[in-house]
Structure formats: C-alpha cells, structure tokens
Amino acid sequence: MLVLGIETSCDETGVGLYDTAGPGLLAHALHSQVAMHDAYGGVVPELASRDHVRRIVPLAREVLGRADRRAENLDAIAYTQGPGLAGALLVGASFAQGLAFALGVPAIGVHHLEGHLLSPLLGAHPPAFPFVALLVSGGHTQLMRVEGLGRYELLGETQDDAAGEAFDKTAKLLGLGYPGGPALSVLAKSGTPGRYRLPRPMLASGDLDFSFSGLKTAVLTLVRKEGGGLPLAPQFCADVAHAFQDAVTDVLVAKSQAALHATNLYRLVVSGGVGANSALRSKLSTASRRHRFETFYPELELCTDNGAMIAYAAAARLEASRTVPTHRRFNVHPRWELATRVLPD
Ligand code: KG4
Ligand code: ZN
C-alpha cells in the first residue's frame, strides 16, 4: 500500500511517501519556514499558511519523482489533522482531501503527536511494543505509555511551557534568533559546567508532570543579576545556555526514568524536536546503561516535523484496520489530545 503523508501543522511543509510492501519509506522532503519567521521572532500563522500553499504541490511532485512513482499509484493520502495552527492545518487537509478525491482513494487524518511517537519505527532498529514515549517538541512535553498502535495512555505532561518552547524563549533572551533550541544547544557546548545552577522544576513532585515556565523566569533573573547589561558577553551567554540545558535535560531524564519505573517497562522512545538535543541523548545513554533500559530515537532528520511520520502512522493504521474511511467530510483539530485517540474499527 502506497501512502503519501502531508505535514503542515506549524512552520514546516513536509511530504513523505511510505510503501507497506517494502522497503518502507521511499522518499521524503521538507521545506522549513524558519528563515521567513525569524524576522518576527516566532511563527506568524497567516504567513505560515500562505507559505504551505506555495510549497505543497512542488514538494509532493518532488517526492513522487524521487521515488519514481506517479500520483495514480497512491492508495491513500494522509495529512496532519491536528493539533497545530488552524490555517496551516487546513492547507494540508484541503490538499490531501482534494488529491484523494481526484484519485478516488481515502484521505486519512493523522494526529501530529502519533506521527512523532511512531517515528522511531521508521528506523533500522525499531522498538517493539509496549514502550514509554517521551514526546518533547515546541508545543508538547508528554510521557506516554504506548501499548500498541492507537493505544496511548498519558502518564504526565507539562503544566505550562513545553520543553522546546522553554529552549526557544531562553534562546531569544540570549539573542539567538528563532527557533533557538538548536543554536542554544551549540552555544551550551562552550559553557562552563557548574558556573551557574538553575532550578530543576518539579523534580521531586512525585508525579510525571513537568513545568518549565519558572525556569525561563529563573534565566531572566540570572541575566538581570549577573549579565552586566546589554550586550551580554558571549561567555556569559554560553554559561547560561549550559546551565539551562543542564536543568531541562536533568528533569527530562529523571522523569523518563520514573515513567519506566512506574510502568515496569524498559524501552524508552524519544521523539519531537528536542529529541535531537545531544546533551539529552548523552544523559539518557548514561542512564540507560546504569538502569538497564533501551532508548530509541527517530533518524535525526525525522526528529523534527516531517511528512514521513504522517505517511507511516496512516500506513500502519491502514494495515491494522480492515476498513478505510470513505466519507469526504473533513475538519481539522487545532487542539486535540492524543490519549483520547482511538483506532477506527
Ligand atoms: O517537533 P518539532 O519540530 O515541532 C513541534 O511539533 O513543535 O520541535 C521543534 C522544537 C523547537 O522548539 C526547537 O527549538 C526544538 O524543537 N529543538 C531543539 C533542538 N532541535 C530542535 N531543542 C533543543 N536542542 C536541539 N538540538
Ligand atoms: Zn512536531
């Protein structure tokens, strides 16, 4: 079964092509709008939607061309139905539904986070079910128990800012542009370990929830107290970046371990943009050796938003279920809890 996946939930237009008959992912392509939004310090929803409109058709053509397939070969079109920016989601949904209608094949709405949490299954060494998933993106920070396809139990989540959002806000404070997560993690490498210590929010809360907005405020206070005014010295910025990253990753690792312990599972899947963070990966690798659990990541290029994970989630669902949607009504869900998702019969 050949499935085209469309991702337009935020500021990346992604298209992927997955073949269940093998070898799996045939091709995928991405256009990032980061440079366009950088001037505004964050995503401008209307600009995001308009850019998706411009990019989606050429990207879909490119992916089909690279895989040497034609639109007529497609068995289904998958698209991110939510959560995300309403206008941006509607571009992908309309394109997918229109193409599916023209080809007479089903269009399948996919939950964006389901795409992220299944993305390690696209790798060379996929994890077996059940596992604990740590979803760490710009919009979400959640721990899930994943029993099987479509069987997701929310174990804990952030009470305020997402981890990626905290990275981005701290990076902005340090003058690193948007989205600052990757730049902050590069800067942190030249920071002095232990020069500053920031709080580890909710580390001892006894549950699996997170909170990152206080950490951002702690960074602001530190910058005001110790920064010596603008412009901030490069080494000071690096030391703060190091302290911030150290605090966030300590919490993410500790809570992931607690989730494995609480569920009695020993496989951890890490996905979403922050999963690309090298400090997080290195701490998890140390913890996994010490506490004997296995950690799985998507391929680095599939950590952030992409169409491949959307194509895969729909393909897996199509294979698991005998019936496919035949109706042509559609809507998007800008807010949508993954744990409430149930597989169609
Ligand atoms: O999963 P994603 O591409 O989009 C959402 O669904 O949100 O995640 C984007 C987030 C941004 O906040 C970005 O700053 C963060 O992931 N990010 C990182 C790194 N790479 C991306 N944060 C820390 N370290 C990184 N290496
Ligand atoms: Zn995402």
DSSP string across 239-251: HHHHHHHHHHHHH
| Atom of ligand 1 lying closest to residue 140 CA | 7
CA nearest 77: which of 48, 103, 56, 50? 103
- The DSSP bridge partners found for residue 239 are none
Q: Is residue 180 classed as helix, strand or coil in its secondary structure? A: coil
pLDDT confidence bin for 343, thresholds 50/70/90:
very low
Of 114, 185, 274, the residue with max ligand 1 atoms within 8 A of its CB, to mutate for a pocket test, comes to: 274
Residue-wise pLDDT for 225-259, tens only, equals 998 888 999 999 999 999 999 999 999 999 999 99
Residue 27 confidence (pLDDT) above 70: yes
CA nearest 33: which of 305, 327, 259? 305
Residue-wise pLDDT for 156-180, tens only, equals 999 999 999 999 999 999 999 888 9
CA distances in angstroms from 75 to 8, 53, 58, 103, listed in the order given:
21, 23, 20, 9
| Atom of ligand 1 lying closest to residue 168 CA | 14
Q: pLDDT at position 110, please?
A: 94
Residue-wise pLDDT for 259-299, tens only, equals 999 999 999 999 999 999 999 999 999 999 999 999 999 99
Query: Distance of alpha carbon 137 from its chain centroid, rounded?
Result: 4
Identical fold at 2-118+302-321 and 129-297? Answer: yes
Where do the H-state alpha helices sit in 199-233?
A: 213-226
Residue 167, ligand 1, Cβ within 6 A = yes
CA nearest 13: which of 58, 46, 44? 58
Residue 84, ligand 1, Cβ within 6 A = no
pLDDT confidence bin for 326, thresholds 50/70/90:
low
In this prediction the pTM is: 0.91
Which chain residues have CB less than 5 Å from ligand 2, an ion?
137, 305
Q: For residues 105-139, b (16+ Cβ closer than 10 Å) or e, as one string?
A: bbbbbbbbbbbbbbbbbbeeeebeeebbbbbbbbb
CB 137 within 8 A of CB 162: yes
| Distance from residue 225's CA to the centre of ligand 2 (Å) | 35
- The DSSP bridge partners found for residue 141 are 136
| Distance from residue 273's CA to the centre of ligand 1 (Å) | 3
Q: pLDDT at position 322, please?
A: 61
Q: pLDDT at position 14, please?
A: 98
Q: pLDDT at position 221, please?
A: 96
Neighbour-count burial of 99, counting CB atoms closer than 10 A to its CB (0-12 exposed, 13-18 middle, 19+ buried): buried
Neighbour-count burial of 82, counting CB atoms closer than 10 A to its CB (0-12 exposed, 13-18 middle, 19+ buried): buried
| Distance from residue 324's CA to the centre of ligand 1 (Å) | 33
Q: pLDDT at position 199, please?
A: 96
Residue nearest to atom 7 of ligand 1 (CA): 138
Average pLDDT over residues 39-60: 94
The rounded distance, in Å, linking the Cα atoms of 96 and 7 is: 10
Residue 147 confidence (pLDDT) above 90: yes
Q: pLDDT at position 178, please?
A: 82
Task: Identify the residue with better confidence: 121 or 345.
Answer: 121
Neighbour-count burial of 84, counting CB atoms closer than 10 A to its CB (0-12 exposed, 13-18 middle, 19+ buried): buried
Residue 324 confidence (pLDDT) above 70: no
CATH tag, 2-118+302-321 = 3.30.420.40
Average pLDDT over residues 54-70: 98
Residue 138, ligand 1, Cβ within 6 A = yes
CB 82 within 8 A of CB 112: yes
Of 12, 134, 167, the residue with max ligand 1 atoms within 8 A of its CB, to mutate for a pocket test, comes to: 167
Residue 342 confidence (pLDDT) above 50: no
| Distance from residue 116's CA to the centre of ligand 1 (Å) | 12
Residue 8, ligand 1, Cβ within 6 A = no
Shortest-distance ligand to the CA of residue 136: 1
The rounded distance, in Å, linking the Cα atoms of 7 and 55 is: 11
- Domain range list for the chain: 2-118+302-321, 129-297
The rounded distance, in Å, linking the Cα atoms of 339 and 342 is: 8
pLDDT confidence bin for 345, thresholds 50/70/90:
very low
Residue 72 confidence (pLDDT) above 60: yes
Q: For residues 7-21, b (16+ Cβ closer than 10 Å) or e, as one string?
A: bbbbbbbbbbbbbee
What share of the chain has pLDDT > 90, as a percent?
A: 83
| Distance from residue 337's CA to the centre of ligand 1 (Å) | 20
| Distance from residue 294's CA to the centre of ligand 2 (Å) | 23
Q: pLDDT at position 42, please?
A: 84
DSSP one-letter code for 73: G
Residue nearest to atom 24 of ligand 1 (CA): 277
Residue-wise pLDDT for 208-224, tens only, equals 999 999 998 999 999 99
Shortest-distance ligand to the CA of residue 310: 2
**Length reported for the chain:** 345
Task: Identify the residue with better confidence: 223 or 340.
Answer: 223
Fold of 129-297: Nucleotidyltransferase; domain 5 (3.30.420)
